[in-house]
A = this chain, B = another copy of it.
Amino acid sequence: MIDLVLAGGTVVTEEASLRADVAIDGERIVAIGVDLPTDGAEVVDVSGALLMPGFIDGHTHMDMPFGGTMTADDWDTGTAAALAGGTTTIVDFSLQDVEGTLAEAVETWQGKADGKTHIDFGLHVAITNLTDEVKQEIPSLPELGVSTIKIFMAYKGTPLFTADEDLFEALQIAREAGVLVLVHAENGDVIAKLQEEALARGDTAPRFHGLTRPELVEAEATNRAIRLAELADSPLLVVHVSCAAALDEIRRAHARGSAIYAETCPQYFAFSDADLAREGFEGAKYVCSPPLRDPSNRDSLWRGLQAGDLHIWGSDHCSFNYAGQKELGRDDFTAIPNGLPGAEERASALWTHGVKTGRVSEQLFVAVLAANQARIHGLAGRKGSLAPGADADVVVWDPDATIEVTQANRHGNVDYTPYEGMTLTGAPASVYIRGALAYRDGEVLAPAGSGRFLERSFRRPAPAAAVR
């Protein structure tokens, strides 16, 4: 039985771009074929468009407390923004309460999403306090549908900061439990000291956010996390790789055959340390961690994507308003909430800077936005692929659409956009989630609450195997 045929488009998979139709029965794709019989199914003509698997964003922070404030986007506005950018699944970070259990974190975050999310979602747990009880709890995460935990090596002085001791033990436990560890790799000790020194000198402006988190701070922690993973014989995902020096450490690990995954993010390609130094307090709009870097890093990062050393392209969407939130750090850059909105622009930014420039093939585009995301985040088979049997999450991509980005045309709930005034090329014309039209022509159609929680399970790759 076929309900719906998307006909006349070009199907883009990791393997190839080919003229084919996509047949959908209920929530699933049932066939990919040439001139598929329609048998009374609804036929949507998608001529001229590219059909891609719904994009997965393994790195978002919705409705999350940070430094005494809450992200500007909750699950309603945040997932609407993601959907408008072609994303049909996110994996968001539930934060362990320092006194709480991991299950409670998951439950809390499910509650935040409940009735609000427009798209499907999974949940990571960020460990903030690795007590003996928590150690015993980790192996039960897969039963909750959680296949990933996150450790922060940065943010010394907050509960997020984790010492090597706990990172190493978490890696050991995770290996046994079939759980993948994600790591925010910056040396928190050094940053804390450099921040203290900067403030003591009176260097309080946003650009000192970047100057107190130099590239070597990230490179060091990246190597350390990798080494601890190797010692624990555990896979690892290094998130938001921002600079060549950190990537070099990942490349070394791959040459050794280690199962290290890596994510990079659009902001490191669209913006730079020059934005952090914008006049007045404008730089605060560009404060995220790791910080925006000198553009000389980009060539290396592009090569990292091309060579498969960087596997996924996540947004690290973590939005704060300029007014009232970013402004908390007017006199002290360390008080600026860290994070940028970007869930909506994620795919278009890669199309603009990567595909249009010839740096990224359509296949690589799909790999880092969908297929590799699914593999790493435990969703393969269901999400991330236009294949028979998979959920019918489909992006109908208009490769020539151009968007003049301005805050007013964004779907999220932030009072600014770092992309203000930029032109992006390539955007979803429409998006289907589990067979239903969820977005078309700028309008979010999937109702709040229509997204489902996804139980994920991580499968360790063949020894030392690359993602594919």
A residues near B (Cβ < 8 Å) are: 13-16, 18-20, 23, 28, 30-37, 156, 163-165, 168-169, 172, 187, 189-190, 192-193, 214, 216-217, 219-220, 223-224, 227-228, 230-231, 251, 254-257, 299, 302-303, 306-308, 358-361, 363-364, 367, 371, 380-381, 385, 387-390, 461-466, 468
Residues of B within 8 A of A28 (CB): 34
Could you name 16 residue pairs across A and B whose Cβ atoms are closer than 8 Å? A15-B468, A20-B387, A23-B33, A30-B35, A31-B31, A32-B33, A164-B189, A187-B228, A216-B231, A220-B228, A257-B306, A302-B464, A358-B462, A359-B462, A364-B468, A468-B468
Known: A224-B220, A303-B255. A388 touches B34 (CB 8 A): yes
Do the beta carbons of B168 and A257 come within 8 Å of each other? no
Residues of B within 8 A of A230 (CB): 216
Do the beta carbons of B16 and A387 come within 8 Å of each other? yes
How far, in whole Å, are A74 and B15 apart by their CA atoms in the complex? 34
Across the two chains, which residue of chain B brings its CB closest to A217? B231
How far, in whole Å, are A215 and B297 apart by their CA atoms in the complex? 22
Chain B nearest Cβ from A16, distance in angstroms? 6
Residues of B within 8 A of A303 (CB): 255-257, 464
Residues of B within 8 A of A193 (CB): 165, 168-169, 172
Do the beta carbons of B15 and A385 come within 8 Å of each other? yes
Residues of B within 8 A of A217 (CB): 231
How far, in whole Å, are A225 and B340 apart by their CA atoms in the complex? 32
How far, in whole Å, are A83 and B33 apart by their CA atoms in the complex? 27
Chain B nearest Cβ from A131, distance in angstroms? 15
Given contacts A18-B390, A187-B224, A255-B307, 20 further A-B contacts (CB under 8 A): A14-B468, A16-B380, A30-B33, A31-B36, A32-B387, A37-B37, A164-B187, A165-B193, A190-B228, A217-B231, A251-B255, A257-B302, A306-B464, A307-B308, A359-B462, A359-B465, A360-B462, A364-B465, A364-B466, A364-B468
Do the beta carbons of A33 and B31 come within 8 Å of each other? yes
Chain B nearest Cβ from A2, distance in angstroms? 9
Chain B nearest Cβ from A435, distance in angstroms? 14
Residues of B within 8 A of A219 (CB): 227
Which of A33, A165, A214, A389 is packed against the most chain B CB atoms within 10 Å? A33
How far, in whole Å, are A153 and B223 apart by their CA atoms in the complex? 16
Chain B nearest Cβ from A30, distance in angstroms? 5
Chain B nearest Cβ from A360, distance in angstroms? 7
Residues of B within 8 A of A358 (CB): 462-463
How far, in whole Å, are A80 and B187 apart by their CA atoms in the complex? 45
How far, in whole Å, are A109 and B86 apart by their CA atoms in the complex? 51
How far, in whole Å, are A190 and B224 apart by their CA atoms in the complex? 11
Chain B nearest Cβ from A116, distance in angstroms? 31
How far, in whole Å, are A18 and B385 apart by their CA atoms in the complex? 11
Do the beta carbons of B190 and A231 come within 8 Å of each other? yes
How far, in whole Å, are A71 and B189 apart by their CA atoms in the complex? 34
Which of A36, A169, A302, A307 is packed against the most chain B CB atoms within 10 Å? A307
Chain B nearest Cβ from A75, distance in angstroms? 30
Q: Name A216's contact: one of B227, B257, B390, B468 (CB within 8 Å).
A: B227
How far, in whole Å, are A214 and B227 apart by their CA atoms in the complex? 11
Do the beta carbons of A363 and B30 come within 8 Å of each other? no
How far, in whole Å, are A95 and B96 apart by their CA atoms in the complex? 41
Residues of B within 8 A of A389 (CB): 18-20, 34
How far, in whole Å, are A300 and B388 apart by their CA atoms in the complex? 36
Chain B nearest Cβ from A257, distance in angstroms? 4
Across the two chains, which residue of chain B brings its CB closest to A248? B255
Chain B nearest Cβ from A358, distance in angstroms? 5
Across the two chains, which residue of chain B brings its CB closest to A163? B189
Chain B nearest Cβ from A328, distance in angstroms? 25
